[in-house]
Amino acid sequence: MIGRGDGAERVSVLVAGAGPTGLLLAAELQRRGVSCKLIDALPEPLRWDRATVIHPRSLEVFESLGLIDRFLEAGTKQCAVKIYSAGELLGALDLSECGSSYGFNLGLSEEVTESILTDYLTALGGVVHRASRLTGVRVQSDAVVAEIEENGSRYRVHAEWIVGCDGLHSRTRESSGIVLEGHDIDAPWAVFDAAIAGWTDHFELNVGYLDAVPVILTALPGRRWRVYLRPSSPESDLVDDAASTVRRYAGGASFVDVANPTRFHCASKVANRFRSGRVLLAGDAAHLCSPAQGHGMNTGLQDAFNLAWKLALVCKGIADSSLLDSYEAERRPVAEMVAHSGDIVEAGELLTDPADRRSRDAAIRTTFTESSSRHNEIVAETELNVDYAASPIVLGGGAGVLAAGQRMPNKIPAGAAGHTVVLVPDPVAADPDAARLREAVQKIVDRSRVFETIVSLDASRALDGRAGSTLLVVRPDGYIGMRCEEHHLAALERYHALVTSQPSAVEK
């Protein structure tokens, strides 16, 4: 074992686990020039495929990284969600109404998502250290000492921060005393991939059948489906189980070219903390949910996207480490919301009493028919219902799509590693001070290491009712960190102080 002072490797961030969460986090740190080591216990990527549904919010993230074309080429669109029960269609969601320029989920195997993210990391100069298992973590006042086993030999890495993206059985989490709270999902799940001969509907959708054997079909490329089900017994034939339900709706349908029938168990749990000193958790290491809504991987990706820019500011000495508390404040409530929503779906899916099933079906019909509840379902399905208005690092208010804490709907500018300051001119009268304001803001942007660019945006319709120029700050993860209508420069300074815990945006 190499001890400290004996040539142990030193990095700013050690990322444990190269699933989707760890890959995105490591790439985003790499892009910002933070020294980072990414390890994974497996000698090669996991071939057992899990996630198939990439939600629009994750597609927006991939767009901002310049990866969207690769994803769209590889995946298949899932434009609608249909729910059936007792032989009838209860309702359908048209995802084009979601409010994103990606009005669909993307069907793509997690394996492919991981390979695109690995290529992205590699192109940025990063690497996945495989067959490298984290076996222990010791936290010191100024560093984390990680013990790693690689091909039978052991070594230590000294890191300023460790992020556990090491999934369900996270060693990072166990070593840090952080606890997963929640419950196991007792009823087993099963999954297989197949084509469906005799399918009469279109191929760009996901379908939920809430029958005695509940089945979910999610579209994959090549007119194949990933079929999720709740098996009828511990020994039942999974394909027969799923076919017994699907045939009620499509009489001539049968599963063909079946691959990888597998049973699995899930849990609905959220870590009691996402940060303990120099230890952070993200992805499945921090939260687990029912696979029914396909949020697990997407939530992990968005954890990574939220954490990366904050960790980079801290590692570069621009922001105080207290910025990292906002990661838990922003992302833990999202994980709780997702786990809770999965619990509701699980409970509904497994009802057996006929009267309970009828009331469930009636409630779904109403939800899918009434326009505001249907809209709520669509934005939840597409993960566009997340906002950080209650975050300790969000400043200002406002209403509607451009309120502080909301995701910025306009694409500005793709790929920014730092914050973007957005000037929205007065929608009614020309502001005589507009040029002077822009000049003053530009000076702050030029001399700050937080604000990267300044852009103008004509968003008068989105800001109805206001007067004067509006200033927005869009964070690197695409959320509006600040909105102000007056005293713009002071507000910008206040926002800088909030994020960095330093008094002024202007470097002396």
Binding site for ligand FAD (CB under 6 A): 16-22, 39-42, 46, 50-53, 110, 133-134, 165-167, 171, 191, 264, 283-284, 291, 294-298, 300
- Beta strands per DSSP E along 17-131: 36-39, 53-54, 76-78, 80-85, 88-94, 105-107, 128-129
Supply the minimum distance, in Å, between the C-beta of residue 285 and ligand FAD. 6
Supply the minimum distance, in Å, between the C-beta of residue 329 and ligand FAD. 20
Q: Which residues contact 434 (CB under 8 A, 6 or more apart)?
A: 423, 425, 426, 469
**Cβ distance 40 to 18 under 8 Å?**
yes
Q: Which residue number, 1 or 435, has a Cβ lying nearer to ligand FAD?
A: 1
What gap in Å lies between CA 494 and CA 200, rounded to an integer? 58
- Beta strands per DSSP E along 234-294: 254-271, 275-276, 279-281, 287-288
What letter does residue 2 receive in the DSSP assignment?
A: P
Supply the minimum distance, in Å, between the C-beta of residue 281 and ligand FAD. 9
Supply the minimum distance, in Å, between the C-beta of residue 376 and ligand FAD. 20
Supply the minimum distance, in Å, between the C-beta of residue 100 and ligand FAD. 16
Supply the minimum distance, in Å, between the C-beta of residue 166 and ligand FAD. 4
Q: Which residue number, 128 or 404, has a Cβ lying nearer to ligand FAD?
A: 128
**Cβ distance 83 to 210 under 8 Å?**
yes
Q: Which residue number, 285 or 459, has a Cβ lying nearer to ligand FAD?
A: 285
Q: Report the Cα–Cα distance between both ends of the chain, in Å, rounded.
A: 45
**Number of neighbouring beta carbons within 10 Å of residue 410:** 17
Q: Which residue number, 265 or 443, has a Cβ lying nearer to ligand FAD?
A: 265
Q: Which residue number, 169 or 202, has a Cβ lying nearer to ligand FAD?
A: 169
Supply the minimum distance, in Å, between the C-beta of residue 52 and ligand FAD. 4
Torsion sign over Cα 251, 256, 261, 266: negative
Supply the minimum distance, in Å, between the C-beta of residue 388 and ligand FAD. 20
- ∠ CA 328-334-336, rounded to 5°: 95
Q: Which residue number, 138 or 264, has a Cβ lying nearer to ligand FAD?
A: 264
Note the helical H segments in 181-292.
238-246
Supply the minimum distance, in Å, between the C-beta of residue 330 and ligand FAD. 17
**Number of neighbouring beta carbons within 10 Å of residue 75:** 24
3-state secondary structure of 130: coil
Supply the minimum distance, in Å, between the C-beta of residue 39 and ligand FAD. 5
Q: Which residue number, 361 or 377, has a Cβ lying nearer to ligand FAD?
A: 377
Q: Which residue number, 308 or 463, has a Cβ lying nearer to ligand FAD?
A: 308
What gap in Å lies between CA 105 and CA 303, rounded to an integer? 19
- How many helices and strands in the chain, by DSSP H and E? 12, 23
Residue type (1 letter), 213: V
Q: Which residue number, 23 or 34, has a Cβ lying nearer to ligand FAD?
A: 23
Token pair 């691959």 is found at: 259
What gap in Å lies between CA 57 and CA 298, rounded to an integer? 8
Supply the minimum distance, in Å, between the C-beta of residue 308 and ligand FAD. 14
Q: Which residue number, 169 or 508, has a Cβ lying nearer to ligand FAD?
A: 169
Q: Which residue number, 16 or 491, has a Cβ lying nearer to ligand FAD?
A: 16
3-state secondary structure of 302: helix
Q: Which residues contact 503 (CB under 8 A, 6 or more apart)?
A: 497
**Cβ distance 435 to 466 under 8 Å?**
no
What gap in Å lies between CA 283 and CA 164, rounded to an integer? 8
- Name residue 147's beta-bridge partners: 136, 156
What gap in Å lies between CA 12 and CA 191, rounded to an integer? 39
Please give the backbone phi and psi of residue 214, each rounded to the nearest 5 degrees, phi first. -65, 135
Q: Which residue number, 113 or 469, has a Cβ lying nearer to ligand FAD?
A: 113
Supply the minimum distance, in Å, between the C-beta of residue 197 and ligand FAD. 23
